[in-house]
């Protein structure tokens, strides 16, 4: 799975992963991070998520990172925003008010790019990546986030042998293995979501849970 996979999904409109409402678990658990207004929030592999606008509406400065220019342009069009565009070494930066979208590869970001992020919201990034890329992603992105950074992480847990990803299953043991060396991990909720995901049930899944974690970089 490479960058072309996701670019082609957006090109051909194969974006069933896009949610047409703000994630209820974000609204429920975001206050648990206890962030002050104005905190800069990283949203990796953001697509055109409505969650980005919701986070900005809570008073945050949002840095969303997305590979597809189609997704980025659709976000601003659908929110009736006119962004300023700036060419950077890591991609094109779209800016409108407190929302920034970097149209580029998340793996091109470095410590300087992420130093100002005091929070991260990861709903669809970790579970979008196969196992080998998940480990690289956590080392590279989370490894460059500063001490004290707080993250709301949402994962899926289902029998991986019953369905090919993406989205991939990332059970609690893997979350511990990926983050445990540097991040304090708190499990906030586990929710059975199979009944709300008929397309996955139709593929033969016997179980699907969403797990919500609060992570704090130490």
Give the residue numbers of the binding site for S-adenosyl-L-methionine: 10, 45, 66, 123
Cα 103–Cα 91–Cα 102 angle in degrees, nearest 5: 35
DSSP, res 169:
P
**Residues β-bridged to residue 211:** 155, 190
Rg (C-alpha) for the chain, rounded Å, is 17
Which residues are annotated as part of the binding site?
10, 45, 66, 123
Instruction: Please list, in sequence order, all residues whose beta carbon lies within 8 angstroms of the beta carbon of residue 146, skipping any fewer than 6 positions away.
Output: 114, 115, 117, 118, 217
> CA torsion, points 48, 64, 178, 136, in degrees to nearest 10?
90
DSSP, res 92:
E
Q: What are the helix (H) ranges across 87-179?
A: 111-114, 131-140, 172-179
- ω into 99 cis (within 30 of 0): no
């Amino acid at each position: 799975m490479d960058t072309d996979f996701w670019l082609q999904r957006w090109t051909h409109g194969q974006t069933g992963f896009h949610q047409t409402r703000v994630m209820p678990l974000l609204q429920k658990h975001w206050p648990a991070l206890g962030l002050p207004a104005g905190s800069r929030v990283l949203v990796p592999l953001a697509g055109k998520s409505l969650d980005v606008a919701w986070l900005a509406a809570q008073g945050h400065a949002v840095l969303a990172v997305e590979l597809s220019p189609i997704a980025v342009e659709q976000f601003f069009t659908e929110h009736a925003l006119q962004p300023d565009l700036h060419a950077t070494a890591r991609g094109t930066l779209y800016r409108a008010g407190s929302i920034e979208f970097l149209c580029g590869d998340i793996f091109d970001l470095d410590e300087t790019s992420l130093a100002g992020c005091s929070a991260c919201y990861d709903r669809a990034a970790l579970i979008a990546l196969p196992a080998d890329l998940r480990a690289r992603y956590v080392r590279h992105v989370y490894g460059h986030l500063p001490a004290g950074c707080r993250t709301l992480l949402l994962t899926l847990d289902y029998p991986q042998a019953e369905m090919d990803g993406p989205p991939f299953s990332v059970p609690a043991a893997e979350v511990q293995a990926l983050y445990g060396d540097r991040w304090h991990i708190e499990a906030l909720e586990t929710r059975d979501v199979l009944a709300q995901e008929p397309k996955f049930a139709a593929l033969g899944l016997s179980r699907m849970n969403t797990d919500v974690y609060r992570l704090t970089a130490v």
